[in-house]
Amino acid sequence: MRKLLFFSVLFLSLTSFGQELKCKVIVNADKLVGANPQIFKTLESSISEFINQRHWTDNEVKPQERIDCSMVLTLIQQTGNNTYTGNIQIQSSRPVFDAVYTTPLFNYKDDNLNITYTEFEPLRFDVNTFQSDLISTLSYYVYLILAIDADSFAEYGGDPYYKICRKITDQVENPNAKKGWQSNTSKINRYLLITKLMAPANKQYRRTLYNYHINGLDRMASDKKTAKEQISKAIIALKNIYNNSMSTYIFRVFMDAKSDEIVQIFSDGPQTDTRGLVEILNKISPTNAGKWAKIK
């Protein structure tokens, strides 16, 4: 009986808590003429293990609480011995309370992927030491996924993870020689993205993430009209940072994930007053004006 109890406890300890992410990884090297495809299959498997089998925080996470996300690395050119350039597309989502629906949180394409990889080399992360551009890039986006997810559940809940993103950027060797990490540029990259997300002037953006999800989407099942009003209120509050020169790209990041969802929410009953919502949406995301015209 004691053995049975021991193995039951052991089984629960192994299955109840696990890693934080459930990430689908794809490495697409179709454009690399003459390259050995097996190398990139190995890379794909190594990245998947690196992300999914590592504990990135001290939190205890149940299997059903793991964050659904994906990373697609598209390698376009081989620029040297085991060195490749391309892009990486990152997406993440979170469940909505009392619903089967999952809501997109992050949908971002980074065109400054530049990595060096030798088949079977181990991928190990140390927050205090730079290992490689590949490991820093993957780890940076892991913590950004964790940060945005945490912000959607608690006001400024992502603070510790944003700080690790910043630490990763600070550890990169010779960053101003690398497009993805340089600070002496006006073009958006990893350094500027985390700078904008952490800027005190952009705190309203993070408050909007929290209110949009906790006070809005998570209440849709119990009171749809009130939930829609709260979502509208959360988005309208972005006007507080509209004139901030640092906010333009933040709006784009938000809308890349949320524009279709916003239209879907406000194109269905019950009816709410959407005049103020549409006005601010057209200001902060004029490229999506065609979508906002569908809001009733």
User: What pLDDT does 132 receive?
Assistant: 97
Its pTM stands at: 0.92
CA distance 200 to 246: 10
Q: Specify the pLDDT at position 268.
A: 84
Phi and psi at residue 243, in whole multiples of 5°? Answer: -90, 5
Least Cα distance to 251 among 280, 228, 274 occurs for 280
- At CA 59, angle to CA 54 and CA 61, rounded to 5? 75
Least Cα distance to 87 among 71, 70, 73 occurs for 73
Strands of the 83-95 sheet, one edge to the other:
21-28, 67-80, 83-95, 102-116
pLDDT of residue 206: 97
Tell me the three-class secondary structure of 92-103, residue by residue: EEEECCCCCCEE
Per-residue pLDDT of the chain (296 residues; tens, 9 = 90+): 433 333 333 333 333 345 899 999 999 999 999 899 999 999 999 999 999 999 999 998 888 889 999 999 999 999 999 999 999 999 999 999 999 999 999 999 999 999 999 999 999 999 999 999 999 999 999 999 999 999 999 999 999 999 999 999 999 999 999 999 999 988 899 999 999 999 999 999 999 999 999 999 999 999 999 999 999 999 999 999 988 876 888 999 999 999 999 999 999 889 999 999 999 999 999 999 999 999 98
Q: Which two tokens mark 268?
A: 């269905």
Predicted pLDDT at 165: 98
The whole-angstrom distance between residue 74's C-alpha and the CA centroid of its chain comes to: 18
The residue ranges of every structural domain in the chain are: 19-198, 204-292
What the block records as the tokens of 287 is 């490229």
pLDDT for residue 13: 35
CB 144 within 8 A of CB 106: yes
Alpha-helical segments (H) within the chain: 2-16, 37-52, 133-151, 159-171, 190-198, 203-210, 224-236, 248-266, 275-284, 289-292
User: What pLDDT was estimated at residue 247?
Assistant: 82
Phi/psi of residue 89, each to 5°? -105, 125
pLDDT recorded at residue 91 = 98
Distance CA 83, CA 221 (A): 49
Q: What DSSP line would sit under 84-151, residue for residue?
A: EEEEEEEEEEEEPTTSS-EEEEEEEEEEEEEEE--TT-----BTTB---HHHHHHHHHHHHHHHHHHH
Instruction: Give me 36's structure tokens.
Output: 């050995």
